[in-house]
Amino acid sequence: MSRTPILSEAELAEALRTLPGWTIANGKLHRTYRFHDFSAAFGWMARVALVAEKSDHHPEWTNVYATVTVDLVTHDAGGITSRDVALAKEMDLLAGT
Ligand code: H2B
Q: List pLDDT tens digits, range 64-88.
A: 999 999 999 999 999 999 999 999 9
Is the pLDDT at 95 greater than 80, yes or no? yes
Ligand 1 pocket test: which of 3, 54, 76 has the largest number of ligand atoms within 8 Å of its C-beta?
76
57 lines ligand 1 (CB under 6 A): yes
Sheet containing 23-25, strands listed edge to edge, beginning at the edge strand earlier in sequence: 23-25, 28-34, 67-72, 60-64
Reported as a single tens digit per residue, the pLDDT across 42-59 is 999 999 999 999 999 999
Give, using CA atoms, the residue closest to atom 16 of ligand 1.
56
Centre of ligand 1 from the C-alpha of residue 1, in Å: 10
Beta bridge partners, 32, equal 69
b/e per residue 1-10 (b: at least 16 CB within 10 A) = eeebebbeee
CA of 33 to the centre of ligand 1 (A): 23
- CB within 8 A of 9, min separation 6: which ones? none
